[in-house]
Amino acid sequence: MRVFTSLDCLLHNPPFEILDGDKSEWLESPARIEKIKQVLIKSERFKFEQFIRKNTLLISKLYTTDGTQFEKKVDIRVSEGRSSSGVIPETFLHFNLVDSDDFSTHSVAQVGRFAFDMTSTITKDTWKSAYAAVQCVLSGANAIMNGGKTAYALVRPPGHHSTQDLCGGYCYLNHAAIAANYLSGRKVILDVDYHHGNGTEKIVKGNEDILYVSLHADDDYPYYTGHRNAGNAINIPLPRTTTTDEYILALQKAISHHILPFRPDFLIISFGVDTYNEDPIAGFSNVDRGMYTQMGRQISQSKCPSLWIQEGGYHMETLGDIVKDVLSSYMDVLEI
Ligand SMILES: [Zn+2]
């Protein structure tokens, strides 16, 4: 399996986050990439490659929040003599708050306009990492478009919560949506992250060439989305107490009832592994390590070239092994 990653993905590293109302370490850390790499690099089945630079217009066409805007917001904040460690919004552009279209140009207000929560701190390095992640994803997409059976983009920050113009949930640019728009033909985005990919659903909504299928926890972050099917979005909310067997059954049904009948040319997997019961910020309470080999085998039934894009997963002790379990069992079935 070709693995696309970049050292630039390690740069974005805000010093803290607000979790459950408390100041906490930034859990979506650069070490996540290193932990996964340390495990995969020991196996000859995974070939690490540097990304190939692709057309940047693909990003600016999809996103109004381009790199210049990101950097400008941080620069302004620093020049004001405030924190240089990152900008966190204080207020959001809530529909009940706004009294006119004459929006404030204050830097904190500007950041609040382009974020929907406080877990998307913008630092001087954020754009570099987000941009490198997109380049890795597009390189992976190129690999499967040119006849490869599968590819893996080992990237961070993750992407599936970000919409065209909103950061949130550690996400800044939506990699799965960018890949789906880049690839030709019919595409399924299968989102197995613990959380609903609200951003992906929003961006691909109404696109008949793309089917979004998400298995995620009910009544958990981002709370307001993912409760029902809508057009080309199949949402499968699962109770937090979901067991390994129940999850695999739900995945099996999603593949046979929705993915196979859609007849995709490409499968994009929003590959979050924060479903594991020991994950510090997520996790179904009865999903154990044994689930991940079954997950890989199930996904192999979708029978089309696949692009795996790293999303969540925060249990550092097992993160690399879980990723390897899924990808190895997927390749075992397909004899890759
Ligand atoms: Zn997640």
What are the residues whose beta carbon lies below 5 Å from ligand 1 (ion)? 193-195, 272, 274, 312
Catalytic residue check, 160: no
The rounded Å distance from CA 282 to ligand 1 centre is 7
Residue 146 CA to ligand 1 center (angstroms) comes to 30
Q: Which residues of 21-50 are buried (b: 16+ CB within 10 A; e: fewer)?
A: eeeeebbbbbebbebbbebbeeeeebeeee
**Percentage, residues of the chain above pLDDT 70:** 91
Average pLDDT value for residue range 316-330: 98
Q: What is the mean pLDDT of residues 56-64?
A: 61
* CB 199 within 8 Å of CB 63: no
pLDDT of residue 114: 82
**What distance in angstroms lies between residue 319's CA and the mean position of ligand 1's atoms?**
13
Side-chain-side CA neighbours of 58 within 13 Å: the count stands at 21
173 CA from centroid of ligand 1 (Å): 15
Phi, psi (rounded to 5 degrees) for 195 = -100, 150
- Taking the centre of ligand 1 as the mean of its atom positions, its distance from the CA of residue 195, in whole angstroms, is 4
- pLDDT, tens digit, 9 for 90 and up, residues 225-270: 999 999 999 999 999 999 999 999 999 999 999 999 999 999 999 9
| pTM for the structure as a whole | 0.95
Domain definitions of the chain by residue range = 2-65+125-334, 67-113
Q: How far is the CA of 190 from the centre of ligand 1 (A)?
A: 14
CATH superfamily ID and name for 2-65+125-334:
Histone deacetylase domain (3.40.800.20)
Above 90 in pLDDT, residue 39? yes
Omega before 89 within 30 of 0, i.e. cis: no
Which of 12, 106, 160, 161 is an active site residue?
161
pLDDT at residue 69, rounded to an integer: 67
CA of 219 from ligand 1 middle (Å) equals 13
Strands 22-24 and 17-19, by their bridges, are antiparallel
Distance CA 262, CA 204 (A): 15
Categorize the per-residue pLDDT at 303 as very low, low, confident or very high, splitting at 50, 70 and 90: confident
Ligand 1 centroid vs 70 CA: distance in angstroms? 23
